[in-house]
Amino acid sequence: MKKSLLYPFLIVSLSFLLGACSEPKKETTVSKKEEVNEANEKGATESNVTPTAEWSYEEETGPEHWGELDSAYAACMKGNEQSPINIEPSLEETSETKLENIEFQYEPTQFSIVNTGHTVQANPATSSNSIVVEGIEYKLAQFHFHTPSEHQFNGQQMDMELHLVHQDANGELAVLGLLIQAGKKNEQLASIWSRLPKSETKSDIAIEEPVDLQALLPSNQTSFYYNGSLTTPPCTEKVKWIVFEEPIEMSKEQIQAFQQIFHNNQRPVQPVNGREIIKEIAQ
């Protein structure tokens, strides 16, 4: 191939690859880090070069049909360790060993936000936030929201749920689930809420004020560990879930502001299929 032809060819291939790693409608100019979202994380690390099908939370492209929309989404239908689930705290095995407790290494951090068309997602400007689970460090990749909550306790749904998505050096995911109930205004999230993008964004919106995730966590850190999946296509499994029992609060106005953008972006609970759910009592 002549040199003059090679350059345009490389640009075309590069934009194709970048486009294929992210959701189909996403801009191809986003950085690698911004592409790390719950829906496409695994696709971005495996060499998935085929754009995947559009999905939604309603009707023909809703959760009941995800597995049929694209062969890449087969786990949504055929997987047997899917998320979210209903947790029944009284039935779960308890583990009171301090050793297993999750370690949070969060600090005030600048974020930018995007409306992906499926949720509002916040991307950290640095990789300084992480958690340590069973001795393995997982760095925060992004966080995003669902309404109503995806996980349930004793069959009860809450108003919203926050997912903090972390990734270790091998690309394995650990997601922290925080249920949200109506109550006090959440000051930690106020700066993000003041800029909530009402429709799908083409580029990130920088949030001036740093967000301190440490201050966002509930005071009682008793949580439930189980092995599950992404709750959005491609529903990839081997995701380590940590769901806090105590909900955090947001004001009714904050919850409604999100619900005006996404009135329902929740996947229904999936069968537990005998999975071990471990209750970790905070010491």
- Catalytic sites, residue numbers: 118
Footprint of Zn ion on residues 111-150 (CB under 5 A)?
Answer: none
Contact segment (CB under 5 A) with Zn ion among 32-40, 67-75, 87-95, 196-204 equals: 32-40
Footprint of Zn ion on residues 191-250 (CB under 5 A)?
Answer: none
Looking at beta carbons only, is 18 or 174 nearer to Zn ion? 174
Contact segment (CB under 5 A) with Zn ion among 11-19, 31-39, 49-57, 198-206 equals: 31-39
CB-based contacts of 136, cutoff 8 Å, min separation 6: 168, 172
Contact 149, 179 (CB under 8 A): yes
Contact 148, 157 (CB under 8 A): yes
Output the residue with the shortest Cβ distance to Zn ion. 163
Contact segment (CB under 5 A) with Zn ion among 73-81, 86-94, 122-130, 159-167 equals: 159-167
Looking at beta carbons only, is 102 or 162 nearer to Zn ion? 162
Kindly state the smallest distance separating residue 104's Cβ from Zn ion, in Å.
Answer: 19
Contact 123, 112 (CB under 8 A): yes
Footprint of Zn ion on residues 72-101 (CB under 5 A)?
Answer: none
- Angle formed at CA 175 by CA 243 and CA 77, multiple of 5 degrees: 95
- Angle formed at CA 56 by CA 152 and CA 40, multiple of 5 degrees: 85
Kindly state the smallest distance separating residue 283's Cβ from Zn ion, in Å.
Answer: 28
Contact 131, 138 (CB under 8 A): yes
Q: Is the peptide bond before 148 cis (omega within 30 degrees of 0)?
A: yes
Q: Is the peptide bond before 89 cis (omega within 30 degrees of 0)?
A: no
Looking at beta carbons only, is 18 or 151 nearer to Zn ion? 151
- How many residues of this chain interact with Zn ion, rule: CB under 5 A? 2
Helix spans in the chain (H): 3-21, 32-35, 41-45, 66-69, 74-78, 190-193, 252-259
Q: 45 in helix, strand or coil?
A: helix
How far CA 19 is from CA of 9, 28, 38, 68, in Å, comes to: 15, 5, 16, 22
Looking at beta carbons only, is 42 or 163 nearer to Zn ion? 163
DSSP H helix total and E strand total for the chain: 7, 15
Looking at beta carbons only, is 38 or 280 nearer to Zn ion? 38
Task: Please report which helix (H) or strand (E) contains residue 69, including its range.
Answer: helix 66-69
Contact segment (CB under 5 A) with Zn ion among 33-41, 70-78, 181-189, 272-280 equals: 33-41
Q: 160 in helix, strand or coil?
A: strand
Kindly state the smallest distance separating residue 79's Cβ from Zn ion, in Å.
Answer: 16
Kindly state the smallest distance separating residue 278's Cβ from Zn ion, in Å.
Answer: 21
Q: Which of 151, 163, 166, 267 lies at the binding interface for Zn ion (CB under 5 A)?
A: 163
26 binds Zn ion (CB under 5 A): no
Kindly state the smallest distance separating residue 128's Cβ from Zn ion, in Å.
Answer: 22
Looking at beta carbons only, is 34 or 38 nearer to Zn ion? 38
Contact footprint for Zn ion (CB under 5 A): 38, 163
